[in-house]
Structure 1
Amino acid sequence: MMLIGHRGLAGLAPENTLASLRAASAHGLAMVEFDVRLSRDGVPLVFHDDTLERTTDGTGPVAARDWAEIARLDAGSWFAPAFAGEKVPSLEQALGLCLDLGLAVNMEIKPDAGREIETADTALALALGSWPDGIAPPLVSSFAIPCLEAARRVAPHWPRALLLEGLPPDWRERARSLGVEALHLDHRTLEAEQVETVRAAGFSVRAYTVNDPVRARQLRDWGVTGVFSDFPHSS
């Protein structure tokens, strides 16, 4: 079972920053997950929330600020004084660092309402132009079906995963219509029989966000193929 750093290594560094990616690498992780959304002027950046307050010294919606404004914000002080001055990275910066560190990438597309296709198209165009041939491409995931449809169109050879909180009755139809290779599911909703059923249908199962090592081992024993964790070094 693969241990995947959640938002870099969010337990030890401010989430979705270059510092969090470096922390993941320093703790021996092979893969990280991070979130991608757009600034007002259409720059893909690495950020989870739709507003700035929780993890920066800025305020208001991310989509209401140009990249030049967001790039000046402090995205580290909220976590710990040692990270004061850490910045929100652009997608280009994050991918470049992952390549330098040899980290595999799960790029979760988190669009604002009405910008699903724009976000996926823009992020994937940049990622395609940044990622060299001969290296396993990023895994593209999203809760938003239009984003996965766009990913299939723009980067058909890149793997995709459908994010779900629980397993709905029509999960097979959704997964097959989108051509995904995996389902990413909230571990709190998962049961052993569900993992077995999804695996038997030919899909990988990855679970988020698992910070309890006992639970991680249980999921591994059930056949879960990867877990996202803020503290994967202890899982």
Structure 2
Amino acid sequence: MKRPLILAHRGFSEQYPENSPLAFQMTVDRTEADGFESDVHMTRDGVPVIIHDDTVDRTTNGTGFVRDHTYQELLELDIGVWKSPAFAGQHIWTLDQLLDFCRETDRLLNLELKNDFFFYEGLEQRVIDAVTSRQMQEQVFVSSFNHLSMQRFKTLCPEIRTGLLYDKPLLHMDRYLDGSNADCIHPRYRLLQNLPELTDLFHERGMEIHTWTVNEEADMRDMIARGADGIITNRPDRLCRVAEGLCC
């Protein structure tokens, strides 16, 4: 069986604070993962930052929407202490910092543009500029639940791969894909289990399949057997072990 890309979901998020510098570093230090899946929002002053939620309430000691804070205000928040007092002192990264880390450690980055609740004006171009200025077009691919954003992104920059995130069945999926210029599809893994014909459909269209968020060993084995091209997991150490045992 083919070994899929192994992408640590928000870094090594099972054991460390998600999207923190420590979670990314520990992925590199403790696993053989190929890279990361992470998330980008934009601050009030237009800085792309690495955080999952639309608000800072869950994963910081602050409150409010990301877009209502300046970058300097976000930098003052602690993004580690919510996980455990042992992780106090972790601070939010910018997109630039994460890209530099991926380049230094030779890791791939699947970047989710979090613009399906708020439509961040200009986010696509800011991401493109950050990636292309570092000549990382082959090292980064993007995805979003906002498929209009992915259509726009691919039109603006054909060199960077795009992916369509989705988590519920769609009617006439083959027709839906006719209108898309995306390179990849990013379904929740249970969609592939409940609708196994999707795997053939996507691959016949020449699309890579990157599925999420696969944490149990049985599901990891199942996704590998089904031919997923990439698997996103909170447990990259476990997935690396499973893949090593199954794949040549």
TM range (shorter): over 0.9
CA contact (8 A) 2:116 2:146 kept: no
Corresponding position: 1:10 with 2:1: no
Q: Shift in Å at residue 173 of structure 1?
A: 4.0
Mapped partners of 2:186, 2:172: distance in 1: 15
- Following superposition of structure 1 onto structure 2, how do residues 40-189 of structure 1 map, counting pairs within 5 Å? 40-111=44-115, 113-129=117-133, 131-132=134-135, 136-189=138-191
**Percent pairwise identity:** 27
> Hey, what's the Cα distance between the residues in 1 that align with 2:81 and 2:100?
24
Residue by residue, what CA displacement relative to the aligned partner does 1:37-70 show, whole Å, maximum 9, x if unpaired? Answer: 1011111000100011110001011111111100
Contact 2:174 2:201 in 1 (8 A): no
Deviations 1:195-222 (A, max 9, x none): 2222223222121000001111111111
Structure 1 residue aligned with 2:40 = 36
Match of 2:208, as an amino acid?
S
1:19 and 1:36 mapped to 2: Cα distance? 17
User: What's the TM-score, normalizing by structure 1?
Assistant: 0.92
- 2:242 counterpart residue number: none
Partner of 1:19: 22
Cα drift, residue 151 of structure 1: 1.3
Residue 226 of structure 1 corresponds to: 230
Q: Secondary structure at the match of 2:122?
A: helix
- 1:193 maps to a residue whose letter is E
Rounded to whole Å, the distance in 1 between the matches of 2:129 and 2:176 is: 24
**Letter paired with 1:98:** C
- Counterpart-to-counterpart distance in 2, 1:222 and 1:126: 34
Q: Matched residue of 1:210: which SS?
A: coil
Kept after mapping to 2: 8 A contact 1:139/1:161: yes
Structure 1, unmatched stretches of 5+, are none
> Quick one: distance in 1 between partners of 2:63 and 2:118?
21
Q: Which amino acid aligns with 2:12?
A: L
RMSD: 1.7
Q: Distance in 2 between matches of 1:42 and 1:104?
A: 25
Distance in 1 (CA, whole Å) between partners of 2:103 and 2:61 is 29
Which TM-score applies when normalising by structure 2? Answer: 0.87
